[in-house]
Amino acid sequence: MLNTPPKLYELCLDVAVADSVSVCKFCQKEFRSLPNNVLFDFYYKMFLEKRLCLLAVELSELEVFNRVISVKHQRTKFLRSFQSLIDHGANIAQLLIKTYVTYCQEVDSNDLIAIETGLKIGSFFNEGGLFNYSVEVLSIVEEVCKRRTRDVTMLRMLLDCYHKRIYAEAIYCDFENATETFESAEEVVRELEALGALPNLAGLYSNFSFLYFVRSEYDEAYSWAIKALRLVTEDLPPRIIIEVLRQASKSCVVKRKFTPAGLLISQAVNMASEMYKMDGHPHFSDTLLDYGFYLLNFDSIQESVKVYEKALAIRKEVFQKNNIRVALGHEDLAYALYVYEYSSGRFYEARENVERSVRIMERILPEDHLLLASVKRVKALILEEIALDERNNYSLQSQYFDEAHTLHKTALMLSYKAFGEKNVQTAKHYGNLGRLFQSMKRYDDAEKMHLKAIAIKEELLGDNDYEVGLSVGHLASLYNYHMKRYKDAEQLYLRSININLKLFGEAYSGLEYDYRGLINIYTKLVDSTNMIHYMYKKREWKNLREKIQPIEHDSELKPVKEVIAKFFQMTE
């Protein structure tokens, strides 16, 4: 089969780039007179031919940036080329911000183009995972807005600025500034309401929910997600609708409302697939990661791994490797693989992914950044399990345990600094240290950590929350297998079973550990009646598990109004 000859348009681009890249000619060429879509192709051809230094000079100019970013359906290519410039060593983001600052200092305070340009840059940086730069440029936008008369136009643009900035601050774990942005946004909402000029707030409220979600304040996250859902209309931009559905689904998952969560995330995946299938935009990977989160928590672990792998592949295709979005994708996949391989002990793929995530984060984040707490926690969990398999190599086992201990302590320190003692994330880190001390045979230390985790979770979440059940089960295991406190362990297992049955039903995977623990207790206590009872329960559980089919994604794209109405029927 003969190769298709290049099109005339491609040949012209090749000649234009080749004729324009010599340093002496480059600035004299008239290629900027080309239409925007052709100009974009010209620059992308430069990227493909590795003319990166000259491309960085061009894209750092606001006029050029504005023209290139206005070309529809080419955002993925722009993100890919922009990331390559960063990888090449070009300080393109800083240069662009510097140019923007100069522009804002020179323009009249009534120049709306300055605000619109800053909003575009901030939005683009958010898409590209450059969250710290997004916060920086959007803070400049805020200052420009405040130089104008506080009319409806300015207030709406300021609210859009806060909408974008609170997302960047939340995902970057800049919680102190995010709280200030939250309060500023609420003030603007009140002003617009008084003027009778409120825009649709679904997207803003969804970002409020996201802020509370990443702070592990799940009741508030759920409350704001519900408010956002109530404001969704068919005429909203599809991107906003998808984001609202995604965030509401995540908020339902952490509240263990799995059926409505599945309804929302299925619709979000279908909409995102339809919207982004042409260009493979990383927004589709965001939706897939939330779908993977739902599957993992709903105990469909194998399916979640497949979804996480697909999401990571999309991010790597766009950003290669030195990007926070890729690092987060590796972390999510590593944890899913850790859960999936927990019974087999084959943790090396999980370890490879988490170490890639750590390397990327340590390369591009400050050493005390909170995002490192989560990924170091995942790495420590994996190393602990690998250590347990090294029973015949005490030296290597000790090495793994010591590294896991250091990672857990670092994660706890970062979490404590960000959230304080009374937070679910801090409690999780105490619990993880408890499990590690248990593996290291430091049983008194393990008990202290588990009791701390339980006390914090009970205070924050109540006595019957899923997180409480997890910590209760871990303490039961310590008492049962290591401290020989069988009666104490018995009561804890029964409590864990009660929580799990109430939340997940009789086929929940975690029940295996509770039943197995009780069988061991009653064997040690020579209580044959209860031993036989729970052996039967365990066998019954196994039969139920074998009947479970993987969750099948509902690929039918439904009217959004219908999906949301069904959601509220389920939850109310």
User: Distance (Å, rounded) from C-alpha 383 to C-alpha 470?
Assistant: 20
CB 41 within 8 A of CB 13: yes
3-state secondary structure of 567: helix
pLDDT at residue number 2: 53
Shared domain check, 472 and 426 = yes
Q: Domain end: 90, 108, 142, which one? A: 90
Shared domain check, 426 and 404 = no
Q: Domain end: 55, 90, 125, which one? A: 90
Shared domain check, 485 and 433 = yes
Number of domains in the chain: 3
Shared domain check, 491 and 540 = yes
- Give Cβ neighbours of residue 344 (< 8 Å, ≥ 6 apart): none
389 assigned to some structural domain: yes
User: Distance (Å, rounded) from C-alpha 29 to C-alpha 49?
Assistant: 18
73 assigned to some structural domain: yes
Shared domain check, 430 and 404 = no
CB 276 within 8 A of CB 73: no
Q: Which pLDDT tens digits describe the chain residue by residue (572 residues)?
A: 456 666 888 888 887 777 776 655 555 457 788 899 999 999 999 899 888 888 998 899 899 999 999 998 899 999 999 999 999 999 999 999 999 999 998 877 667 899 999 999 999 999 999 999 999 999 999 999 998 889 999 999 999 999 999 999 999 999 999 999 999 999 999 999 999 999 999 999 999 999 999 998 999 999 999 999 999 999 999 999 999 999 999 999 998 899 999 999 999 999 999 998 777 899 999 999 999 999 999 888 999 999 999 999 999 999 988 999 999 999 999 999 999 988 777 898 999 999 999 999 999 999 999 999 999 999 999 999 999 988 889 899 999 999 999 999 999 999 999 899 999 999 999 999 999 999 999 999 999 999 999 999 999 999 999 899 999 999 999 999 999 999 999 999 999 999 999 988 898 888 999 999 999 999 999 999 999 999 999 999 999 988 877 677 888 889 999 999 999 999 98
Structural domain of residue 355, as residue ranges?
A: 313-409
255 assigned to some structural domain: no
Q: Domain end: 36, 71, 90, which one? A: 90
Shared domain check, 480 and 390 = no
DSSP 172: T
User: Distance (Å, rounded) from C-alpha 255 to C-alpha 270?
Assistant: 23
472 assigned to some structural domain: yes
Q: End-to-end distance of the chain based on CA atoms, in angstroms? A: 62
